[in-house]
Structure 1
């Protein structure tokens, strides 16, 4: 009885309830509690990391869906660099089950496959390697220029000095000085023309290379392949179009009929058909749509593009460098049915065949 009272008195000293022996005071229990806290903190860190990784992948995927195909490659590079940076950062080891690993790998492969498919959908376009043949009217226009502007001796071959003579004649026609800005550009265009039409190997002299009619047409076929508008033309052709316009410009940005007539007399012949009054009027009507438009630079560029790319006759630029190709006449109109009487007219009937050759509409 005395022992029990003593222990009770010790436990209730100063009016406070105190335990003399707590479980945490034991060293074995303290070690177990510390280990549990470490595991809980490790699991909490791993869960936070997984949540951040999932959020990052989700936001990246939403951005990729909102972007167009042009930004897909950039997004792919950014995502791959982000993965490489995250892999270099030391992270606590997290135990991942086999099911979670399979899900993550499947999601990663799916995202990569989708991006690669979207990228390849634009780049893997079919391109035609074959050359489109020139039409008959295109060949006739190029042959006309070859004969009357380059082949002065009419032997069927053109050399480098023939191109130099053509541009020298153009300089004298436009009255350009050797220091003139237009003449300097024309010399650069001449060098490009020689390089295009006289391809020579290393150590070969371009002065001894000849250009036949077939090579002339094949070169045009190669450079005009795939061109449908003025913007598709090579740069040297655009400059050639500009130089020709400036040589014919009367000073106010418009080519007059007199300048065009003088151009034909200089390059073709003084007694050529294009320089005569009836023909020069028809040529100028072709270029200006019967006088509805001024022959300014915009109309001239359209006519020049039609001379190069026009595959059908009766185009605005068909006679740009002289008359070539036949023009199709309009179909004749029969007015005999309008001037006939009712007795002469043959009434239409489904039961019998008619012998009429004109119809009144």
Structure 2
């Protein structure tokens, strides 16, 4: 392979001479952003990681730098571009530093998303407009051109181009939004048309739709509730009666009677339904008193606790955790003394306060 390669930058069509070690595959090459590029090419300077990677077309090559440079110059002229290749000694092309910084060249040939390509095209158009303004100001005689006028020319031209590009992007976004809405409406219409057809096919094949199965389950639950005995026995007055109550009473009937919106209210109603106040006062959650002595019956170790779990399973509180249920039982058993008017009697025992005028 020749040492010096003649390539054409696809970003602006300029033709330059690079060293063979600067090539990246067959469609890209590295290019320095500063320095004496002609000497770097002749001396075969090793490319650095900070150099940009540009998409190029390989036009030919030669072992002699001067020969390759002359071919690059003649090829550039045949392309009809207005940019010369190389310096006084046939040097390589030095891309504009602002263009290198403003227009990133992809390092791979992987297709990019549409929005990324649009933004890349917008940046490229803006940079070309800025460079054209700069070249027009540079060709004006020095007597009439100053850095201030060049900056003014760029500032006057760039907003117009930016406005046009922005308007184009707005139109594209509006078109994409309209297309998405139309697709959503079309899919909704298709779904509405297919739904009765699918239901008819399922019914004809003997299978049932989820909605139909849910309605059937609700009907079965209602029929089951009507056919089952919903009678609840009276509250037990002794521990022996409580054991008989737990053995003979249907949990489903109790769940229908004690169900409340809150878990604690449901537990309180259950305890009142299965035992009287005198029996309930014999229970505590652990069975231990204030001095950690076994003074009461442990609610958690009695079969009434497992019975309560079965009742809650038939209520909306079936997903309550053991900790939540235990907390509710503790608070209900603590307030047993306030049942049957106990709170009113307790407050009436307080001495009354006389107010004198």
Which protein has the bigger strand share?
A: 2
User: Structure 2 length as normaliser, TM-score?
Assistant: 0.19
User: Structure 1 length as normaliser, TM-score?
Assistant: 0.18
